[in-house]
């Protein structure tokens, strides 16, 4: 049993994770941005850098496409933007999470936890099920 | 700021089309700051300046995509040559709005190759209330191939239907039809729908009205789209 399963597991470990498709990301970038800003105020370039770092190279976003999402969150009042000039730096727009954004993020976290649990069960169940050719179906 | 960056930002802002000057300036400054910092990072890594500029622009994304993304959400009129237009009046390859005109249009009033809405016109159209289309599905469908509660067309399938080939619970008259009820046994409530199909004057005036309204319905969005293309062209893009 172990011997049969081992090569499959080895292949899975070696295989690099695929980059996330745009369709998978759609709608989730907002949550990612809220989560990043929950760690503290930040500005566009830094946010993109953090996204890429925490995404371990699996996210491949056009950097400019993050701004429409930021502006949308700002319009909804989930984040607030303010121009600031730190010493020796260019003026730049810093975004911070608002209480409304914090609540939205908490809601999203719950949704994700539920979804991950369900998906994990479904996918694990799919792997555990023996193939039809091996007589898995009575 | 390099000329290439300025040109890139011009293009982005052209597509973003933000009417309020102070808001447009803020958006532009924010993009410029991002690109400026990206270039500085590349320079710090030893990348030659020209390459750094090019790579920063490339990483930022196509001006069309970034610019359209930055457009105000759901304005009164949104006209796009690319992507999905969203506005009270939306015109584009795909359009979503109260009045939507596009290759694929979704709205209260939808006009397009594929249209879906409360009232829709198009090649292939679905509507809650009324459609006039090549192939149409609606409560009241006037179409080449019409499916609906009341359907009229070359081929019509409906509770009450009329046309070249008509199939339904009740087919009042004309053409080749297959009717579940005959003229003597048809319930009153079905017969009440007859005038929509058998009243020649009503049929003719509805059709004439539709033909006449379809010309501006097609022409106006095309004219606005043409103006948008010209605006982009005149800016040199």
pLDDT mean for each 10 residues of chain B (237 residues): 89 90 93 93 93 93 90 87 90 94 94 94 94 92 91 89 87 76 81 76 81 84 89 77
Higher-confidence position of A10 and A30: A30
Q: How many CB pairs below 8 Å do chains A and B form together? A: 58
- The beta-carbon contacts of A32-40 under 8 Å, at least 24 apart in sequence, are A33/A66, A33/A69, A33/A70, A33/A73, A33/A79, A34/A73, A34/A78, A34/A79, A34/A97, A34/A101, A34/A104, A34/A105, A34/A108, A35/A105, A37/A79, A37/A95, A37/A96, A37/A97, A37/A101, A38/A97, A38/A102, A38/A105, A40/A96
Give CA–CA dist B230/B226, Å, rounded.
6
Q: pLDDT, tens digit, for every residue of A97-118?
A: 999 999 999 999 999 899 888 9
Closest CA–CA distance from residue A110 to any residue of chain B (Å): 28
What pTM, to 2 d.p., does this model score? 0.70
Closest CA–CA distance from residue A63 to any residue of chain B (Å): 4
**A88: its two tokens:** 């020796």
Chain B residues with CB under 8 Å of A92 CB are 30, 33
**B2: its two tokens:** 């390099």
Report the chain A residue with the minimal C-alpha distance to residue B70.
A68
**A6: its two tokens:** 């081992």
Give CA–CA dist B48/B54, Å, rounded.
10
Closest CA–CA distance from residue B89 to any residue of chain A (Å): 20
Report the chain B residue with the minimal C-alpha distance to residue A67.
B70
Instruction: Grade residue A5 by pLDDT with cuts at 50, 70 and 90.
Output: very low
Q: What is the pLDDT of residue B135?
A: 95
Higher-confidence position of A30 and A22: A30
ipTM over 0.85: no
Q: Does pLDDT of A46 surpass 70? A: yes
Chain B residues with CB under 8 Å of A63 CB are 34, 38, 59-61
């Amino acid at each position: 049993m172990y011997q049969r399963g081992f090569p499959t597991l080895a292949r899975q470990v070696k295989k690099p994770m695929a980059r996330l498709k745009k369709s998978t990301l759609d709608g989730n970038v907002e949550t990612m941005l809220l989560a990043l800003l929950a760690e503290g105020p930040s500005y566009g370039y830094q946010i993109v850098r953090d996204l890429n770092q925490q995404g371990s190279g699996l996210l491949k976003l056009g950097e400019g496409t993050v701004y429409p999402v930021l502006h949308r969150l700002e319009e909804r009042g989930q984040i607030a933007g303010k121009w600031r000039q730190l010493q020796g730096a260019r003026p730049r727009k810093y975004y911070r999470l608002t209480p409304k954004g914090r609540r939205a993020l908490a809601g999203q976290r719950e949704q994700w936890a539920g979804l991950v649990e369900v998906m994990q069960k479904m996918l694990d169940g799919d792997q555990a099920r023996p193939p039809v050719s091996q007589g898995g179906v009575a | 700021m390099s000329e290439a960056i300025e040109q890139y930002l011009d293009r982005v802002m052209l597509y973003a089309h933000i009417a309020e000057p102070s808001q447009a300036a803020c958006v532009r400054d924010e993009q410029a700051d991002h690109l400026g910092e990206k270039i500085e990072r590349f320079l710090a890594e030893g990348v030659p300046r020209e390459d750094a500029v090019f790579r920063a622009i490339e990483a930022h994304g196509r001006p069309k995509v970034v610019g359209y993304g930055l457009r105000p959400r759901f304005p009164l009129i949104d006209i796009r040559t690319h992507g999905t237009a969203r506005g009270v009046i939306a015109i584009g390859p795909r359009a979503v709005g109260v009045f939507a005109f596009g290759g694929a249009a979704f709205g209260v009033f939808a006009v397009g190759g594929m249209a879906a809405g409360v009232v829709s016109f198009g090649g292939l159209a679905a509507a809650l209330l009324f459609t006039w289309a090549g192939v149409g599905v609606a409560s009241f469908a006037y179409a080449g191939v019409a499916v609906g509660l009341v359907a009229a067309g070359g081929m019509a399938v409906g509770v009450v239907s009329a046309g070249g080939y008509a199939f339904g619970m009740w087919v009042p008259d004309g053409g080749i039809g297959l009717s579940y009820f005959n003229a003597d046994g048809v319930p009153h409530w079905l017969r009440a729908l007859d005038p929509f199909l058998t009243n020649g004057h009503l049929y003719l005036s509805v059709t004439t009205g539709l033909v006449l309204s379809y010309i501006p319905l097609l022409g106006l969005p095309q004219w606005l789209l043409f103006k948008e293309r010209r605006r982009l062209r005149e800016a040199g893009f």
